[in-house]
């Protein structure tokens, strides 16, 4: 009984953090504002109808001439009110500063983009700016704040996973995650190998090129499943599997793999040295969608972590995100 009491008391003890030094290293950042904000919901307790429904903003695919710096897209979207999904990589120096690169996928992360403070109860606050635009630049080491966040370290084994929200009513509804990357500077196509399970969801804005195939299929269920179309567009879900050959290709399961709900994905991918990357998923109906991803370590226990591909859809007018984990 005494041992049981000691065990019970130890579980009641709150975890403590020592300070900014607990958050250090390379992190993937992921931000989104969910599709239900398209409905223009009225805040609880108010009687006014509120403003018009929010207009979704499509993400420009990486590699195009109009593509924003990933951090610019992230911070500008957080500061706004529109539906969005965005990701990229940032570096925490352990002293309360966040840095990234002016060039996507570059290893040199020497541009100050934010500050953070870690509290003893493992909560934290962040101030984020955008030095890549005229309105959020830096003067010396002073950062012009565009967005403030409050969050909490959620993993049990360290500061590898942070969940946060935007503070203030003007940009409410956005959720942000920071997850430590798989590595810092040694990722390549061979980093992604083996069988992966994929889940995701999104929204295709009305009037855009949806990337939807013919629907003819091959007798195998399609991985992308569209929902009921509305005036603003069509929601969809994604569930499927792919095998990565480590050479930049997503390969379907061989015919010998028998499953009553098999939903296969094929396609291609490219992993950058900083553990970011781009890819293209194609299902059995021919539906194809492009993604931008970061390879992260999703810690499940103190002594256990697994590599996860966390992605956002990047076709213009397609908003959403998902993840692929090795099986």
CB distance 62 to 77 below 8 Å? no
Return the half-sphere exposure (C-beta side, CA atoms, 13 A cut-off) of residue 16.
3
Least confident segment among 181-190, 236-245, 318-327: 181-190
Return d(Cα 252, Cα 116) in angstroms, integer. Answer: 43
| pLDDT, position 228 | 84
Domains of the chain in start order, with CATH, are: 18-42+52-180 (2.40.128.10), 189-326 (2.40.128.10)
State pLDDT tens for residues 265-309: 999 999 998 889 999 999 988 999 999 999 998 654 444 456 789
- The angle formed by the CA atoms of residues 153, 69 and 109, to the nearest 5 degrees, is 60
Of 10 and 93, more confident: 93
**Do 200 and 320 meet the contact criterion of CB atoms below 8 Å apart?**
yes
Q: Dihedrals φ, ψ of 309, to 5°?
A: -95, 105
Cα→Cα distances 127→95, 261, 297, Å: 14, 45, 24
Confidence (pLDDT) at 137: 47
What CA–CA distance (Å, rounded) separates 275 from 256? 33
Residue with tokens 């019970």: 8
pLDDT of residue 21: 92
Higher pLDDT, 142 or 146: 146
**Are 301 and 160 in contact, with CB atoms under 8 Å apart?**
no
Residue 129 has pLDDT above 60, yes or no: yes
Residue pLDDT, tens place only, 143-181: 788 899 999 998 755 678 899 999 877 777 788 999 998
The span from the CA of 184 to the CA of 161, in Å, is 16
248: CB partners within 8 A, 6+ apart: 189, 268, 269, 270
Question: What would the mean pLDDT of 48-64 be, rounded to a whole number?
Answer: 42
Tell me, what's the pLDDT at 66? 41
Confidence of residue 190 (pLDDT cuts 50, 70, 90): very high
Mean pLDDT (the chain) is 77
Whole-structure pTM value: 0.79
Q: Tell me what pLDDT residue 246 has.
A: 92
pLDDT digits (tens, 9 = 90+) for 223-277: 999 888 877 778 899 999 888 999 999 987 766 666 656 788 999 999 998 889 9
Q: Above 60 in pLDDT, residue 42?
A: no
pLDDT at 152: 93
Whether 58 has a pLDDT exceeding 50, the answer reads no
Is the distance from CB of 71 to CB of 6 less than 8 angstroms?
Answer: no
Quick one: 195 exposed, middle or buried, by C-beta within 10 A (0-12, 13-18, 19+)?
A: middle
Does residue 258 or residue 95 have the better pLDDT?
95
């Amino acid at each position: 009984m005494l041992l049981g009491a000691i065990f019970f008391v130890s579980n009641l003890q709150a975890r403590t953090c020592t300070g900014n030094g607990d958050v250090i290293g390379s992190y993937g950042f992921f931000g989104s504002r969910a599709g239900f904000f398209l409905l223009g919901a009225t805040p609880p307790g108010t009687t006014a109808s509120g403003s018009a429904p929010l207009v979704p903003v499509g993400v420009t695919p990486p590699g195009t001439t109009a593509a924003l710096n990933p951090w610019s897209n992230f911070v500008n979207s957080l500061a706004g009110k529109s539906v969005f999904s965005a990701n990229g990589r940032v570096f925490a120096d352990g002293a309360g500063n966040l840095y990234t690169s002016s060039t996507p996928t570059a290893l040199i992360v020497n541009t100050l983009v934010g500050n953070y403070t870690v509290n003893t109860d493992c909560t934290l606050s962040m101030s984020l700016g955008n030095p890549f635009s005229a309105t959020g630049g830096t003067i010396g080491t002073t950062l012009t704040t565009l967005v403030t966040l409050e969050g909490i370290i959620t993993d049990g084994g360290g500061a590898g996973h942070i969940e946060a929200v935007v503070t203030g009513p003007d940009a409410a509804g956005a959720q942000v995650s920071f997850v430590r990357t798989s590595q810092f500077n040694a990722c390549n196509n061979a980093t992604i190998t083996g069988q992966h399970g994929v889940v995701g969801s999104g929204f295709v804005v009305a009037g855009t090129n949806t990337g939807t195939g013919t629907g003819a299929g091959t007798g195998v269920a399609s991985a992308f499943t569209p929902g009921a179309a509305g005036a603003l567009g069509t929601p969809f879900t994604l569930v499927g599997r792919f095998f990565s050959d480590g050479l930049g290709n997503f390969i379907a399961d061989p015919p010998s793999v028998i499953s009553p709900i098999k939903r296969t994905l094929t396609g291609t991918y490219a992993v950058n040295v900083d553990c970011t990357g781009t890819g293209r998923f194609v299902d059995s109906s021919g539906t194809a969608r492009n993604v931008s991803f970061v390879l992260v370590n999703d810690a499940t226990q103190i002594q256990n972590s697994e590599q996860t591909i966390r992605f956002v859809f990047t076709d213009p007018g397609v908003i959403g995100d998902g993840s692929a984990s090795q099986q």
